[in-house]
Amino acid sequence: MERAEWLRQRTTQTTQDAEDCLRINYHGSKIVTEALLPLLRSSSDGRIVNVTSAWGLLRYFSGDELRRELDDVDNLTRQRLDEMSRLFLEDLGKGNGALERRGWPADQVYAAYMASKALVCAYTRVLAREEGAALRVNCVHPGYVLTGMNDYTGVLTAAEGAAAAVAVALAEKGGVTGAYFDRTELGASFV
């Protein structure tokens, strides 16, 4: 049996679970980052590396309009991302296919996780655009890491997963910003 299916059979998602997931993954990342921005801006080579997931890629979203909006970094704002987080929870609470109608991931078990990680990816790009050359802001999918969060079904050790984020953080000065890395490889896009 595939690991994802095995995990799916042991997982349920309540509205509270979804709120917690978004609060930790998206809002938590954003709050910590924004608290540290003044210090990072004072650095000659400030770097922000957000941890995301391949499940946060937009290919998992069921609607083209929402996918396009999340991919439109030139017009997306932090405020709109916060609003999208709220809309996700509203749609989840409505049930009856509201998530799919708006274009969120159709996966009923991992939709909140996927949405939260997509919001982290989009936030990374928005912040990179806002900060320009002053900071390098990227996100990294560390791989499927063996942790209690996935009932120890991962294939990488925590050290191997962390090494990906560290490698992105320590990349050469003046490198890419606003990018998604699949472990240490530059991803083609967020889509």
Cβ contacts of residue 38 below 8 Å, gap of 6+? none
Following DSSP, what letter does each residue of 10-71 receive, concatenated?
T----HHHHHHHHIIIIIIHHHHHHHHHHHHHTSTTEEEEEE--GGGSGGGBS-HHHHHHHH
Question: Taking a C-beta distance cutoff of 8 angstroms, is the pair 100, 106 a contact?
Answer: yes
What's the CA gap between 100 and 106, in Å, rounded? 6
Residues designated as active site: 113
Q: What is the DSSP letter of 185?
A: E
CA distance 43 to 161: 26
| Whole-angstrom distance, CA of residue 150 vs CA of residue 10 | 10
Q: Work out whether the CA dihedral 37, 39, 45, 47 comes out positive or negative.
A: negative
List Cα–Cα distances, 188 to 71, 120, 133, 139, 145, in angstroms.
Answer: 13, 17, 21, 13, 22
